[in-house]
Amino acid sequence: MHRHIDRLSIARRHFWIFNRWLGLQMAFVGILFSTGTGAILLLSKSIIDPSLLGFSISFSMGFSKAIFSAVNEFGILETCMDSADTIIRYSEMEPEDQGGAEMSHDWPSSGEIRVERLNVAYSDNTPLVLRDITFTVGGGTRIGIVGRTGAGKSSLALSLLRLLEPQSGSIYTDGIDISTIKLQTLRSRIAFIPQDPVLFSGTVRSNLDYFKHVSDDKLEEALRAVGLASKDCDDTPGSFTLGSSITAGGTNMSQGQRQLLCLARVLIRNPKIIILDEATSAVDDKTDLIIQNTIRNAFHGTLIVVAHRLRTIASFDQVMVMNDCKIAEIGSPAELMKARGLFYDLVQDSQDRDMLISTL
């Protein structure tokens, strides 16, 4: 509250300082004008009637007041029009197309993803962030995506959910072009954990299962699986129960805890396709290991993991290395190690080098 009051006071203070400064200047202009008028009237008092003279002087004194309020009102109009401008811009914002085909309940049944010659840009006048991407992920395959920061890994993940619309090329999930599917259906069938997850104000329960479709037991089990639940039902710090409250944006949790809660949400829904975008980047190694094991045991669908720890994907079926908006290498981790390309270099630079070399 104090922070907000301070911010308001700062804005107000500046507003009034400028307002008074303007008033002072206008008063000076007014004084000059009245003095000038007075001087001219005095010089010509022989030809002007004294009553008319008094009348003119009192009128000229009102001038400064009038000019000040004109400038002031114009300033207020400008400020208000700024707000109108924002509202108009929001009302003209184009909503995403909500149309498209409704899919049957069991879609996607196998979880196969095929991407063909995909070109993606954030807007029409920015350069492509994905160039000519073609690959296929079989149903139930676990694929890791690695590459330097800015290589386009997150953009690829966003494209699979149509959060970015392709400029050309197509993505097929279970043989169906996702651009023909209703957005809400598509996004409800694929689980996605972004790099920086968002939570809503409410409780842990409302964030896990807003519509209350799932039993408490199952929710608690998921919380335990990601290591967020307290062991003996008391309020130890760093642990949560279903009733724990969450502030807007999840600001009362650390980023790692938010990622864990999103993982719990995924475990409950058990979808056919999961996309994790560096979902455990803010989680310690030990917790990460527990989560990876949990996912491995609990989940048998297609898993796409943008990984920042190479050890996470060492046991995966496939690895895709992205470089400069393109796929540089794709294959099993052991194959890529043999090829001595980019993946090999990444392994050499990694902290877990010895562990990786011994397992691959």
The residue within the footprint of Mg ion, chosen from 64, 154, 244, 259 (CB under 5 A), is 154
Q: Compare residues 151 and 336 and give the one whose CB is closer to ligand ADP.
A: 151
Q: What are phi and psi of 9, to 5 degrees?
A: -65, -40
Residue with smaller CB distance to ligand ADP, 195 or 201: 195
Sheet holding 128-137, edge to edge: 128-137, 113-121, 166-173, 176-177
Q: What's the min distance (Å) between Cβ of 195 and ligand ADP?
A: 7
Q: Min. distance of Cβ 331 from Mg ion in angstroms? A: 22
Nearest Cα to Cα of residue 162 among 141, 143, 176: 176
Q: Does 166 bind ligand ADP (CB under 6 A)?
A: no
Helices 50-92 and 2-43, packing angle to 10 deg: 150
Tell which one of 153, 258, 265, 272 touches ligand ADP (CB under 6 A).
153
- Alpha carbons within 13 angstroms on the beta-carbon side of residue 312 total 30
Should residue 152 be labelled a site residue for ligand ADP when binding is judged by CB under 6 A? yes
Which of 148-156, 227-235, 259-267, 349-357 is the region at the interface with Mg ion (rule: CB under 5 A)?
148-156
The partner in contact with residue 227, picked from ligand ADP, Mg ion, none with C-beta cut-offs of 5 to 8 angstroms by kind, is none
Candidate segments 65-73, 97-105, 143-151, 230-238, binder of ligand ADP by CB under 6 A: 143-151
How buried is 198 (Cβ within 10 angstroms: 0-12 exposed, 13-18 middle, 19+ buried)?
Answer: exposed
Kindly tell me which of 155 and 173 has the beta carbon lying closer to ligand ADP: 155
Cα Rg, the chain, nearest whole Å: 32
Spatial neighbors of 127 by CB under 8 A, at least 6 apart, are 121
- Of the pair 51, 149, the CB lying nearest ligand ADP is at 149
281: helix, strand or coil: coil
Could you tell me which stretch among 1-9, 148-156, 313-321, 337-345 binds ligand ADP (CB under 6 A)? Answer: 148-156
Can you spell out the DSSP letters for 209-221? -TT--S-HHHHHH
Assess 147 for contact with ligand ADP (CB under 6 A).
yes
Looking at the Cβ atoms of 154 and 244, the one nearer to ligand ADP is 154
Specify the 3-state DSSP secondary structure of 165.
coil
Q: Is 64 in the site for Mg ion (CB under 5 A)?
A: no
| Binding residue count for ligand ADP, defined by CB under 6 A | 11
Binding range to ligand ADP, per CB under 6 A, among 146-154, 213-221, 250-258, 294-302: 146-154
Residue number of the CB atom closest to ligand ADP: 154
Cα separations in angstroms, 97 against 162, 169, 181: 11, 18, 10
| 168: nearest Cα among 204, 213, 134 | 134
Q: Which does 164 bind (CB under 5 to 8 A by kind): Mg ion, ligand ADP, none?
A: none
Tokens of 293: 């094991």
Using CB under 6 A as the criterion, which residues of the chain lie in contact with ligand ADP when the complex forms?
122, 126, 129, 147, 149-155
